[in-house]
A and B are shown apart, each in its own frame.
Chain A
Amino acid sequence: MTTATGKARFGVVNFPGSNCEKDTLYVIEKVLKAEVDEIWHKETSLKGIDVLVLPGGFSYGDYLRCGSIAKFSPIMKPVIEFAQNGGVVIGICNGFQVLLESGLLPGALISNSSCKFICKDIFVKVERNDTPATRGIEKGAVLKIPIAHHDGNYFCDEKTLETLKANNQIVLRYCDENGNVNQEANPNGSISNIAGICNRQRNIFGLMPHPERNAEKILGNADGLAIFEALAECRTFDS
């Protein structure tokens, strides 16, 4: 859909317990200057959205497993349909957990290997720049983005990992500031240093880092903005 701003129209889902939806809305509306709707989880339809964001937080208090209850929120039915029809969906942190629990992306996020909640800036390497969320970013670029999670340790079985690699679905990997992907730069024990993956069609993307938390220079650096700028160019349903 073409908006007056010429940018994608965003939707940000608000689950009970989400706590990054306001930051995300702020970045899209005030920094990116794109149109955005806040969508309460009880809504049962999505209209005129080009890019849908499942934000970070602690949906349903992280009870049972992170994201496990949010996947049954009424809004998830249209979200799953939207995603399966090629709609661009990005899940940040808890949103990533919801995408995995919903089966929209493969694998799971388990407890950090340190068993601690980690809140700090980390570096990620952009492994591919032909996804809706990384277009325009140089391949191999190193972004400094904060993480804030207890369950960010990406896990999948060997067969799934092989498939992810073969299909080039690993979008972001934890690295050091020079772009070296190694165990020292892995904050949470994620298999193969995975920080973000997409589906085979590339329209569904989940990541643990919080790009909405550093989309303005005043917050240290604005590396996170590049992801939102890429998404702003997406047109799911041209009209």
Chain B
Amino acid sequence: MKVSVTVSLKEGILDPQGKAVEHALQSLGFNSVKGVRIGKSIEIEMDGSGNQKEAVKDMCLKLLSNPVTENFKINAEPNK
């Protein structure tokens, strides 16, 4: 079973990489671009045992995200 986690920067946290991409898109003529934020997508292959929802949440809190600067979203929640 595959679980996908998206880690994104909290609102208000500077994202110079996103800014650079935003400017690049605008200079390519994509004038409708109003903002770009870059995050991380993490795919986790799990064996399906135990309470996976809790386990993935725990992973996000302990390692995958930094609560000071980042939010996380568990995209494909496991069955349990």
Contact = CB atoms under 8 A, between A and B. Distances in A.
Interface stretch (A82-90, A110-118, A200-208, A216-224): A110-118
Contacts of A100: 68
Interface range on chain B: under 10, 10 to 19, 20 to 34, or 35 or more? 10 to 19
B20 A155 contact: no
A111 B14 contact: yes
Interface string A148-177: 000001011100000000000000000000
B16 interface: yes
B13 A64 contact: no
A108 interface: yes
Contacts of A155: 13-14, 68-69
B14 A108 contact: no
Nearest to B9: A110
A111 B68 contact: no
Interface in A168-191: 189
B66 interface: yes
A42 interface: no
A115 B20 contact: yes
Contact of B16 (A69, A108, A114): A114
A181 B5 CA distance: 40
28 contacts: A65-B66, A68-B63, A68-B66, A69-B63, A72-B63, A100-B68, A101-B66, A107-B68, A108-B66, A108-B68, A108-B69, A110-B13, A110-B14, A111-B14, A111-B15, A111-B16, A112-B16, A113-B14, A113-B16, A115-B16, A115-B19, A115-B20, A155-B13, A155-B14, A155-B68, A155-B69, A156-B68, A157-B68
B64 interface: yes
Contacts of B14: 110-111, 113, 153, 155, 189
A1 B58 CA distance: 40
- 8 closest cross-chain pairs (CB), A and B: A115-B16, A108-B68, A108-B69, A111-B16, A108-B66, A65-B66, A115-B20, A110-B69
B17 interface: yes
Interface of A: 64-65, 68-69, 72, 100-101, 107-108, 110-115, 153, 155-157, 189
A163 to B, nearest CB: 14
Nearest to B17: A115
Contacts of A156: 68
A99 B74 CA distance: 27
Nearest to B40: A64
Contacts of B66: 65, 68, 101, 108
Interface string B36-62: 000000000000000000000000000
Nearest to B68: A108
A159 to B, nearest CB: 12
Contacts of B69: 108, 110, 155
A120 B39 CA distance: 29
A114 B14 CA distance: 10
